[in-house]
Structure 1
């Protein structure tokens, strides 16, 4: 698990440095080509770079082990990174729409030759960074991957528009394509951001998980009922479960057998931490708080 998290930080680091370098190139290229569209994308990429950088730092901090103050470790910092990046990306996409929609009524013809060269470079650089984050397991990686995918699609749109405008004067294609890919990104980032918010509020990472856990535990010998089942996630990848199991057994050997079977049963779900309290059928639950 630690190796996977370290590999995640390494991939995010690659994405940060490639995006940061290309952002500088974009500003220079936008100034040389006198293209407001490219300068606007450079500003957007600068926001992406800052967002990816914050996500990278938080992801690396998440590698720290548990201590006396944070007994579960620092993995939720990665979740914080996913939340920050999702919010930044939503804000950036809204800004693109704010800029692109008015241009539908008053489109401006840019210098297409410079746009084509920068677009090819943009697809290559951002495509490489997106490839490095492809298949990421954490929410942080997934949200950052959408950051980069947005940039790739944006540069593909710029390339197509620039080539078309080499032959016909249709500057309105630029804002149309920008609006199209931005709406597509907004939909997917919105889903990831909603998942992140749910995990922040300690929602169950998978709605089917509580019923599955309840079903397998109640099938065990000596188990009579189950209550106070709680399942949440530290970072979208590492889950925690606690429960009270009511049981009846006649000997210490049966008790040991039950503990062993519970451990084996819970192993199949891959929880990072599990805490199972076994209560006798005749005793009252010490946690008298009513669950809603």
Structure 2
């Protein structure tokens, strides 16, 4: 029986997502700069907070663009598992920037809540409409993508569109009613929302770096499925981790019946890998043992 080994390490082929992320990055970056100037001009901390949020999104898009391109290199001598883990580094950098920006916004918004200042409501309306258009265009460019990075960024940009809708409602309120506190209240709401999501992202990044078990992976089910294979008596010494939250790796020892031929073992391994694919495992290393062997677990 002939067995052919196929090792394809370029796991993220360019399906057009790279150019779409690039376009969305430039749209967001240009509008963030315009928005920051506009926020200072209109004296609106809500718009300034959204500008910093959009700047963080631009950095996320830039990182996604860079790492999408970098990940296409696959593995090499420097990084035997490829370059996927760099996306986690990008997430950490972006999270730190967003935390600093949100803290600055809160420090500006709280005093304005106590001593309110009247922002330029008409200017806020124009920028809110611009924000809906710019973020909506960037989100539209990323809609329907097959890349996981692309889908995640699309959802983030969609949240930004909803944030601008809220800013537009606040601006219209300011235009018709004398209620200047709505601006810092909105800014604090946006900053708090950002911080909440940043903390979630940081927890996930730390979990990945510490090589925690991926959320989608059920170890008990994996053991049960593998032990149901003909010729497999038991399983142990199972380790699983993720490179970037999406690409999951597993190593495991299978105790098999003695006197199995190489062809038999190859069939068992292929069946095991097919089962592991169903359990969100993208790369598996399987070691065979007999009951008589002494295993030294890692």
* CA RMSD between the two structures: 2.8
Aligned match of 2:114 in 96, 105, 117?
105
Deviates more, 1:135-144 or 1:239-248: 135-144
Q: Deviations over 1:181-225 (max 9, x none)?
A: 332333233223312221121111126521121111112222222
Q: Select 1:243's aligned residue among 249, 252, 266.
A: 252
Q: Judging changes above 3 Å, is the alpha-carbon distance between structure 1 residues 95 and 28 closer, same or farther for their aligned structure 2 residues?
A: closer
- Give how far 1:157 is off: 3.1
Does the Cα contact within 8 Å between 1:133 and 1:145 map onto a contact in 2? Answer: no
Correspondence 1:10 to 2:22:
no
Q: Secondary structure at the match of 1:66?
A: coil
Show structure 1 runs of 5+ residues with no match. Answer: none
Note if 1:269 corresponds to 2:266: no
DSSP-derived class of the 1:69 partner = coil
- 2:81 counterpart of 1:72: yes
Q: Deviations over 1:80-130 (max 9, x none)?
A: 222222232233222222221221111111222122111111111123223
- Tell me which residue corresponds to 1:187: 196
TM-score w.r.t. the length of structure 1 is 0.84
The one of 19, 22, 30 aligned to 1:21: 30
Q: CA 1:238–1:210 in structure 2 vs 1: closer, same or farther (change >3 Å)?
A: same
* SS state at 2:72 partner: coil
Displacement of 1:14: 2.4
Deviation at 1:242?
0.7
Tell me how far 1:257 sits from its aligned partner: 4.3
Q: Secondary structure at the match of 1:16?
A: helix
Structure 1 pair 122–267 and aligned structure 2 pair: CA distance change class (3 A): closer
* Alpha-carbon contact 2:113-2:184 (below 8 Å) kept: yes
Greater relative contact order (Cα < 8 A, sep 6+): 2
- Aligned residue number for residue 157 of structure 1: 166
Q: Distance in 1 between matches of 2:83 and 2:294?
A: 35
When normalised by structure 2's length, the TM-score is: 0.82
User: What is the distance in 2 between the residues matched to 1:66 and 1:161?
Assistant: 50
In structure 1, what is the equivalent of residue 43 of structure 2? 35
Between the aligned partners of 1:76 and 1:43, the Cα distance in structure 2 is: 26
Number of residues of Structure 1 aligned to a counterpart in Structure 2: 285
Q: Match of 2:242?
A: 233
